[in-house]
Protein backbone atom coordinates (compact mmCIF):
# COMPACT_ATOMS: atom_id res chain seq x y z
CA UNK A 1 0.00 0.00 0.00
CA UNK A 2 1.69 3.17 -1.21
CA UNK A 3 1.65 6.34 0.89
CA UNK A 4 0.83 9.50 -1.09
CA UNK A 5 0.76 12.30 1.49
CA UNK A 6 1.02 12.87 5.22
CA UNK A 7 -1.59 14.96 7.00
CA UNK A 8 -1.35 16.57 10.45
CA UNK A 9 -1.45 14.37 13.54
CA UNK A 10 -4.85 13.61 15.08
CA UNK A 11 -5.92 12.00 18.35
CA UNK A 12 -5.37 8.25 18.38
CA UNK A 13 -7.32 5.64 20.34
CA UNK A 14 -5.49 2.39 21.12
CA UNK A 15 -7.43 -0.59 22.43
CA UNK A 16 -5.84 -3.85 23.56
CA UNK A 17 -8.10 -6.50 25.03
CA UNK A 18 -8.00 -10.21 25.68
CA UNK A 19 -9.93 -11.07 22.48
CA UNK A 20 -8.52 -8.80 19.75
CA UNK A 21 -4.83 -8.03 20.26
CA UNK A 22 -4.94 -4.46 18.94
CA UNK A 23 -7.39 -1.90 17.55
CA UNK A 24 -6.20 1.60 16.58
CA UNK A 25 -8.62 4.38 15.59
CA UNK A 26 -7.55 7.68 14.10
CA UNK A 27 -9.99 10.41 15.12
CA UNK A 28 -11.50 12.52 12.38
CA UNK A 29 -10.58 10.39 9.38
CA UNK A 30 -13.38 7.85 9.24
CA UNK A 31 -15.42 9.94 6.82
CA UNK A 32 -19.21 9.94 6.49
CA UNK A 33 -20.94 7.00 8.12
CA UNK A 34 -22.84 6.39 4.87
CA UNK A 35 -19.56 5.70 3.06
CA UNK A 36 -17.97 2.48 4.31
CA UNK A 37 -14.15 2.35 4.16
CA UNK A 38 -12.14 0.13 1.85
CA UNK A 39 -9.91 -2.48 3.44
CA UNK A 40 -6.32 -3.54 2.92
CA UNK A 41 -5.54 -6.82 4.65
CA UNK A 42 -2.25 -8.61 5.10
CA UNK A 43 -0.71 -11.59 6.83
CA UNK A 44 -0.66 -15.30 6.13
CA UNK A 45 -4.46 -15.41 6.67
CA UNK A 46 -4.08 -18.46 8.94
CA UNK A 47 -2.13 -17.32 11.98
CA UNK A 48 -1.74 -13.63 11.23
CA UNK A 49 -4.25 -11.09 9.95
CA UNK A 50 -3.95 -7.31 9.99
CA UNK A 51 -6.76 -5.19 8.57
CA UNK A 52 -6.39 -1.52 7.65
CA UNK A 53 -9.50 0.57 6.97
CA UNK A 54 -8.95 3.36 4.46
CA UNK A 55 -11.32 6.27 3.86
CA UNK A 56 -12.57 5.61 0.33
CA UNK A 57 -12.63 9.26 -0.71
CA UNK A 58 -9.50 10.70 0.94
CA UNK A 59 -7.23 7.67 1.33
CA UNK A 60 -6.70 8.40 5.05
CA UNK A 61 -5.90 5.44 7.24
CA UNK A 62 -8.78 5.56 9.70
CA UNK A 63 -8.52 2.26 11.60
CA UNK A 64 -6.18 -0.69 12.02
CA UNK A 65 -7.07 -4.02 13.57
CA UNK A 66 -4.58 -6.74 14.43
CA UNK A 67 -7.07 -9.62 14.41
CA UNK A 68 -4.53 -12.38 14.93
CA UNK A 69 -0.79 -12.31 15.26
CA UNK A 70 2.06 -14.76 14.95
CA UNK A 71 4.10 -15.52 18.06
CA UNK A 72 5.99 -12.49 19.27
CA UNK A 73 9.76 -12.36 19.13
CA UNK A 74 11.43 -11.49 22.42
CA UNK A 75 14.19 -9.48 20.77
CA UNK A 76 13.51 -6.15 19.06
CA UNK A 77 13.14 -6.33 15.28
CA UNK A 78 14.98 -3.00 15.03
CA UNK A 79 16.15 -0.32 17.42
CA UNK A 80 17.39 2.44 15.15
CA UNK A 81 14.53 3.30 12.80
CA UNK A 82 14.59 7.00 11.96
CA UNK A 83 11.56 9.11 12.81
CA UNK A 84 11.67 12.17 10.62
CA UNK A 85 7.98 12.86 9.95
CA UNK A 86 4.81 13.22 11.98
CA UNK A 87 1.19 12.83 10.94
CA UNK A 88 -1.33 10.42 9.43
CA UNK A 89 -0.44 8.77 6.11
CA UNK A 90 -2.91 8.93 3.26
CA UNK A 91 -2.63 6.03 0.83
CA UNK A 92 -2.88 5.97 -2.93
CA UNK A 93 -6.39 4.90 -3.91
CA UNK A 94 -5.21 4.00 -7.43
CA UNK A 95 -4.66 0.36 -6.38
CA UNK A 96 -8.41 -0.08 -5.88
CA UNK A 97 -10.96 -0.30 -8.65
CA UNK A 98 -14.08 1.77 -7.91
CA UNK A 99 -16.10 -1.34 -7.07
CA UNK A 100 -13.30 -3.12 -5.19
CA UNK A 101 -13.90 -3.13 -1.43
CA UNK A 102 -10.83 -5.04 -0.30
CA UNK A 103 -7.22 -5.72 -1.26
CA UNK A 104 -5.63 -8.84 0.27
CA UNK A 105 -1.85 -9.17 0.30
CA UNK A 106 -0.54 -12.49 1.55
CA UNK A 107 2.90 -12.03 3.07
CA UNK A 108 5.05 -12.83 6.06
CA UNK A 109 4.40 -10.73 9.16
CA UNK A 110 6.90 -10.54 12.01
CA UNK A 111 6.27 -8.98 15.40
CA UNK A 112 8.11 -8.21 18.60
CA UNK A 113 6.97 -6.92 21.97
CA UNK A 114 9.92 -5.48 23.86
CA UNK A 115 10.19 -2.66 26.40
CA UNK A 116 6.47 -1.82 26.15
CA UNK A 117 6.65 -1.38 22.35
CA UNK A 118 4.87 -3.61 19.85
CA UNK A 119 6.45 -3.66 16.39
CA UNK A 120 4.71 -5.39 13.49
CA UNK A 121 6.50 -5.58 10.13
CA UNK A 122 4.83 -6.67 6.87
CA UNK A 123 6.76 -8.63 4.24
CA UNK A 124 10.37 -9.68 3.87
CA UNK A 125 11.98 -6.36 4.62
CA UNK A 126 14.90 -5.38 6.82
CA UNK A 127 13.32 -3.22 9.57
CA UNK A 128 16.41 -1.01 9.88
CA UNK A 129 15.82 0.16 6.27
CA UNK A 130 12.45 1.67 7.25
CA UNK A 131 11.50 5.14 8.46
CA UNK A 132 8.81 6.12 10.96
CA UNK A 133 5.92 8.51 10.52
CA UNK A 134 4.92 9.25 14.11
CA UNK A 135 1.38 9.94 15.30
CA UNK A 136 1.01 9.98 19.08
CA UNK A 137 1.89 6.46 20.37
CA UNK A 138 1.75 4.99 16.85
CA UNK A 139 4.45 4.99 14.20
CA UNK A 140 3.80 3.93 10.63
CA UNK A 141 6.79 2.13 9.10
CA UNK A 142 7.47 3.14 5.50
CA UNK A 143 10.12 1.90 3.06
CA UNK A 144 12.14 3.96 0.55
CA UNK A 145 9.40 3.51 -2.09
CA UNK A 146 6.78 4.95 0.32
CA UNK A 147 5.20 1.52 0.78
CA UNK A 148 3.46 0.90 4.11
CA UNK A 149 5.52 -1.82 5.83
CA UNK A 150 4.34 -1.95 9.43
CA UNK A 151 3.51 -0.21 12.68
CA UNK A 152 4.85 0.31 16.13
CA UNK A 153 2.77 1.06 19.21
CA UNK A 154 4.79 2.54 22.04
CA UNK A 155 4.22 3.34 25.69
CA UNK A 156 2.03 0.30 26.23
CA UNK A 157 0.80 -0.11 29.78
CA UNK A 158 1.47 -3.34 31.68
CA UNK A 159 -2.22 -4.22 31.21
CA UNK A 160 -2.05 -3.59 27.44
CA UNK A 161 1.05 -5.81 27.18
CA UNK A 162 -0.69 -8.55 29.18
CA UNK A 163 -3.83 -8.26 27.01
CA UNK A 164 -1.84 -8.52 23.78
CA UNK A 165 0.08 -11.56 25.03
CA UNK A 166 -3.14 -13.22 26.21
CA UNK A 167 -5.02 -12.48 22.96
CA UNK A 168 -2.35 -14.17 20.85
CA UNK A 169 -2.07 -17.13 23.20
CA UNK A 170 1.31 -16.43 24.80
CA UNK A 171 -0.07 -16.42 28.36
CA UNK A 172 -3.01 -18.02 30.09
CA UNK A 173 -5.76 -16.26 32.02
pLDDT of residue 76: 77
Domain ranges of the chain: 3-167
For 14-48, the pLDDT digits (tens) are 999 888 889 999 876 555 555 788 999 999 999 99
Distance (Å, whole) CA 137 – CA 24: 10
Distance (Å, whole) CA 137 – CA 144: 22
Is the pLDDT assigned to residue 148 strictly greater than 90? yes
Cβ pair 157, 107 in contact under 8 A:
no
pTM of the model: 0.89
Is the pLDDT assigned to residue 173 strictly greater than 70? no
For 77-128, the pLDDT digits (tens) are 877 777 778 998 999 988 788 888 999 999 999 999 998 999 999 998 887 7
Distance (Å, whole) CA 166 – CA 173: 7
Q: Indicate if the alpha-carbon torsion angle 105, 110, 145, 115 is positive or negative.
A: positive
Query: Is residue 105 exposed (0-12), middle (13-18) or buried (19+ Cβ within 10 Å)?
Result: middle
Amino acid sequence: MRIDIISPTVPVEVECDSHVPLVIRFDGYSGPTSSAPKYWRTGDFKHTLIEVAVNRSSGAICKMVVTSLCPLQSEPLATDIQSNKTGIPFVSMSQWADDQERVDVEQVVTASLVDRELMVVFGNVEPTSLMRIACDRISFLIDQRNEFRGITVGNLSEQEVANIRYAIGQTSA
